[in-house]
Chains A and B, each alone.
Chain A
Amino acid sequence: MATRYVVGPVSSYPPGSSTIVYPDKVKSGIGVFNVGGEFYALKNTCPHMGGPLCKGRVRGTTEACAKDDERLGIQWVRDGEIIACPWHHWEFEIRTGRTIFSSRQRVRSYPVTVEAPETMERLKKGVETVPVSVEDAQIILEI
């Protein structure tokens, strides 16, 4: 059965921000990211060598320009949508947990929902941590 974990109030995590939470069930931690107003959660374990992925840098990545097949061009794309592991800089899409390059390896991701205060009241008994405040909508992880 899925456990619900309250990350905190939406207002504390504006777009571009992130945090790492450490629920009992996932000791290595789960990174929660606000990408353009949507929340995503990835396990804080890089599938490459087990590094603390979510302590890495949230950034964009490079893409080859295809405008002219003779000339090499490089452009910066998807700024804020990529997490790079601090150990070996493997890059993953925060939205999907997939690698940028073709690979079968991907990071475990978790569903995240944003719940209104009234829903929070109903859920209160089942959640692992007591919310800081019920005044505001809360970010809820399903683990």
Chain B
Amino acid sequence: MIIDCAVHPVLEHDELNRRIGPPFNLRPLPSLFGDKYQAPFDQLSVSVEDAGSPAAVARFMRDARIDYAVLSPTTRGYWPNPQQADAVMRSVNSMLAERWLSAVEGEGRFFGSIRVAPNDTDLALREIDRWAGDERFVQLVVPARALAVYGDQRFFPIWRKAAELGLPVFVHDDMGTIVEPPPSQVGFQSFFAEAHALRPLSSIVHVATMITAGVFDRLPDLRVILGDVSVHSARSLLIRTDKDWQTERLEVPWVTKDPTLYMETNVRFISQADDEISPHSISASDTVGGENSALVMFGSRHPYWDDTTPARTFPTWNDEARARCLAGNALDFYPRLAARISAEATA
């Protein structure tokens, strides 16, 4: 079995604008995919029509031998106006449910994501409540670009609700943003090559702050999926917190174990482009924060230009390790997905 945890369907532009409604559609909103500036080439690997067609995505899955896909539309990251952000998320989620999760071409192989805008915690909770009863939605998606680090207390009610509902939180860098592209810690990058290569940094900041803020100690059932960070880049940064946490514990006494140990219990990583070339990827096992093969979940990133296939993902691993990456870890990490697949198996 192969489960693709990162497919980004493109929602039909005119319909989405109609759904978003006035006053936010008086000027058509930009399309929700692709880059606003910078990228010197098209962002999609297929035509916009195919990227927006459930039949075409189902065909891509068949060709790549993918059995199930978790769909997460990109929504241009952080929207400054919280009311507009909420209108966009409501429309995106409705459209995903009606046009994709209900599409006959999907043959029951599509799972959905509830996109929420974390600008306003109350609005985000309301949007989660709208969809929580629909078991086809298996995760929340929040943008990597945020007003504040996700360890911040203002976001905690969102994480608590996600943990209660068995919805992993997928942190995704949409790349294209409504506001300026995210700055680095030392200012703005100049080139697409920089923004694209350095995108893991924002999600690492989020997960490191969630660990030090004790989010996982307070919500042991919370699961976080990083959509743009490879497990070895996460290790190389998070291990810095391991080195001196015994000293720094004084200000964060709720942290009870080596920070990287939270990776094993609470965090998973979508397979990345650097997994395909990194010397750390040759081996399925590693020492810090658990084995590679236990922490990585396959994601094709279809229909984006840097997408991949199961065949190209960790080809040097043995069958057992590849099976964990291609399906086993997702079954362990997504309770709703596992429940539906096991119900289908017994039906």
Contacts and interface: CB of A to CB of B under 8 A. Distances in A.
Interface of A: 48, 61-64, 69-72, 74, 88-91, 99-103
Contact of A89 (B157, B250, B254): B250
A102 B214 contact: no
Given A69-B218, A71-B153, A72-B213, A64 B254 contact: yes
Nearest to B251: A62
A74 B153 contact: no
B256 to A, nearest CB: 7
Interface in B210-224: 213-214, 217-218
Contact of B160 (A70, A89, A99, A100): A70
Contacts of A71: 153
B156 interface: yes
A72 B246 contact: no
A103 B254 contact: no
30 contacts: A48-B246, A61-B250, A61-B253, A62-B249, A62-B250, A62-B251, A62-B253, A63-B253, A64-B214, A64-B254, A69-B218, A70-B156, A70-B157, A71-B153, A72-B153, A72-B213, A72-B214, A72-B254, A74-B251, A74-B253, A88-B244, A88-B246, A89-B247, A90-B247, A91-B250, A99-B246, A100-B249, A101-B245, A102-B256, A102-B257
B9 to A, nearest CB: 35
A70 B250 contact: no
A88 B247 CA distance: 6
Given A62-B253, A100-B249, A101-B256, 19 more contacts: A48-B246, A61-B253, A62-B250, A64-B253, A70-B218, A71-B153, A72-B153, A72-B214, A72-B254, A74-B251, A88-B244, A88-B246, A89-B247, A89-B250, A90-B246, A99-B246, A101-B249, A102-B256, A102-B257
Interface string B233-264: 00000000000111101110110110000000
A76 to B, nearest CB: 10
Contacts of B153: 71-72
A103 B254 CA distance: 16
Interface in B251-306: 251, 253-254, 256-257
B326 to A, nearest CB: 35
Contacts of A88: 244, 246-247
A72 B156 CA distance: 11
Query: Which 5 pairs across A and B sit closest by C-beta, in order of nearness?
Result: A64-B254, A62-B253, A89-B247, A64-B253, A88-B247
